[in-house]
Amino acid sequence: MDHAHRPGGWTVAAAWMVAIYLVLPISIVIPVSLTDQRFLSLPQEALSLRHYATVLGSEAWLGSIWQSFLIAVAATVIAVVAGTLCAIGCWRLSRRSTELVRAMMLLPIIIPSIVYAVGLYRYFAKIDLLDRFLGVAIAHGVTGIPYVVITVSTALAAFDPRLEQAARGMGASLSQTLRWVILPRIAPGIVSGAIFAFIHSWDELVIVLFIASRDVFTLPRRIWDGINENLDPAMAAVAVLLVVFTLGLLLLDLALRKRRDA
């Protein structure tokens, strides 16, 4: 790649503009979260950590963070188990019908989440899952499946089918082959999918607005309510914490990918 064409000046400028456009709205919350004022604003006289102290000292905020975390963990487990099994099944059978199944698995990210949420609301009302931990976990888990199906399918596409043949040729049963050969090989894909599924649940708002009200009060929901009701800079502090946590997960994913490719 030493002799690859170097990008021209305009291309570089355009690339930077896009990058800034993507990052700027996120970075604005950082100075706002450090404001010394009592309302949502840029710092006036000094930088202050008081709003971080408010968040970390507030039972309501901490409760929401904990609840969001638990829901995200449960949703991730659901998405990873269902998504991985689906991807492996489609890969093993590999027929025209499995292509259809794989496409259907992507529906949750294709359909507008508000449409999805309305449907869930009516459906969950009937089976008494509204405003329940289990209900939100299931909803987030199911909508997280596409991420796992995509990453695991990608990992399987790179999996050498002769390894499976080799395992079976040496007498391994399907479950032994799965446990000892296939799963270890596609583990990085599963972890990637899990991270995305986790992030998906962690910052999901639309569905929560519909199917949860009082008992289940996730972090994005509390930020949403906070913005609607008062302009407390604590929200900016939470937003920064949220971004940092998500960024951490993405970096973890990047590191894992790098290790796999090495």
Residues that bind other proteins (CB under 8 A): 160, 162-163, 165-173, 176, 180-181, 184-185
As measured in angstroms, the least distance from the Cβ of 183 to other proteins is: 10
Residue 8 DSSP one-character state: P
As measured in angstroms, the least distance from the Cβ of 175 to other proteins is: 11
As measured in angstroms, the least distance from the Cβ of 172 to other proteins is: 5
For other proteins, the closer of residues 173 and 230 by Cβ is: 173
As measured in angstroms, the least distance from the Cβ of 117 to other proteins is: 41
For other proteins, the closer of residues 9 and 171 by Cβ is: 171
**CB neighbour list of residue 145: distance below 8 Å, 6 or more residues apart:** 78, 79, 82, 83, 86, 105, 108, 197
For other proteins, the closer of residues 120 and 156 by Cβ is: 156
Q: 3-class DSSP state for residue 130?
A: coil
As measured in angstroms, the least distance from the Cβ of 151 to other proteins is: 18
CB 79 within 8 A of CB 144: yes
Q: 3-class DSSP state for residue 132?
A: coil
Residue 53 DSSP one-character state: H
**What does the angle CA 112 – CA 114 – CA 115 come to, to the nearest 5 degrees?**
70
For other proteins, the closer of residues 66 and 180 by Cβ is: 180
For other proteins, the closer of residues 25 and 171 by Cβ is: 171
For other proteins, the closer of residues 151 and 218 by Cβ is: 151
Separation in Å, CA 77 to CA 39, 129, 140, 145:
39, 19, 10, 10
Distance CA 99, CA 169 (A): 28
**CB neighbour list of residue 120: distance below 8 Å, 6 or more residues apart:** 139, 207, 210, 211
As measured in angstroms, the least distance from the Cβ of 33 to other proteins is: 43
